[in-house]
């Protein structure tokens, strides 16, 4: 197995509570959409030094698409680990990819994707990705030829 050429951000702060489960005790898929937003924000806040200042600028980040594919069930008490990386980094947009794993054996629970695009708040027109953000996103970009199962740098530190 070949090591990934991109970094992987790992977020391990999600715990499944009763409020996340349905009548049968399984995590309802809509929770993953919320967790995608939480982990994406942690990714940016931890890795982009001036992310809060970037959010105050006139260039706004917009989630244009969101999708999630469940693969296995999670239940009350599970701890969920999310691996995050990027793909399709262009001038105006990029995708953030999420891999959720958990349970006793760390099984892959599901995969998600968000397409983020940028708009000028004054004109409403598309805008370029701010360079401070793009430089970080490029470090975590998975090239189309890489396999998801690949290793890579894992951890909260962006060395």
Digit-coded pLDDT (tens) for 73-106: 999 999 999 999 999 999 999 999 999 999 778 9
Residue 153 pLDDT = 41
Contact criterion met (CB below 8 Å) for 78 and 103:
yes
SS3 state of residue 113: strand
Residue 49 lies in a domain: yes
6 band by pLDDT with thresholds 50, 70 and 90: confident
Report the number of distinct structural domains present in the chain: 1
Tens-digit pLDDT profile for residues 23-38: 999 999 999 999 999 9
- The pLDDT of residue 145 is 63
Q: Is residue 83 part of a domain?
A: yes
Task: Output the pLDDT for position 159.
Answer: 31
Is 128 domain-assigned?
yes
Per residue in 135-159, pLDDT (tens digit) is 999 999 988 765 444 444 444 433 3
pLDDT higher for 156 or 130? 130
More confident residue, 124 or 145: 124
* Structural domain includes residue 20: yes
Residue 107: count other Cβ atoms within 10 Å of its Cβ.
Answer: 14
Q: What is the CATH number of the domain that holds 120?
A: 3.10.129.10
Tell me whether residue 1 is in a domain: no
- The tokens for 10 are 């790992």
- pLDDT score recorded for residue 72: 95
Average pLDDT, whole number, for the chain? 89
In a domain, 79, yes or no: yes
Kindly give, in sequence order, each residue whose CB lies less than 8 Å from that of residue 57, ignoring residues fewer than 6 positions away.
Answer: 130
Position 3 scores a pLDDT of: 54
Q: Which residue has the tokens 């030829």?
A: 145
Domain that residue 130 falls in: 10-142
Instruction: Give the whole-number percent of the chain exceeding pLDDT 90.
Output: 82
Q: Give the pLDDT confidence score for residue 104 in this predicted structure.
A: 75
């Amino acid at each position: 197995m070949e090591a990934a050429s991109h970094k992987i951000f790992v977020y391990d702060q999600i715990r499944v509570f009763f409020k996340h489960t349905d009548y049968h005790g399984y995590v309802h898929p809509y929770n993953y959409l919320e967790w995608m937003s939480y982990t994406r924000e942690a990714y940016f806040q931890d890795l982009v030094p001036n992310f809060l200042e970037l959010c105050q600028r006139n260039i706004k980040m917009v989630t244009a698409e969101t999708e999630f594919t469940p693969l296995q069930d999670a239940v009350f008490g599970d701890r969920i680990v999310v691996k995050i990386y990027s793909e399709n980094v262009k001038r105006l947009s990029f995708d953030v990819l999420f891999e959720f794993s958990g349970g006793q054996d760390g099984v892959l629970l599901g995969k998600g994707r968000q397409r983020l695009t940028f708009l000028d708040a004054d004109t409403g027109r598309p805008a370029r990705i701010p360079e401070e953000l793009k430089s970080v996103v490029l470090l975590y970009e998975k090239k189309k030829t890489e396999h998801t199962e690949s290793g890579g740098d894992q951890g909260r530190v962006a060395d």
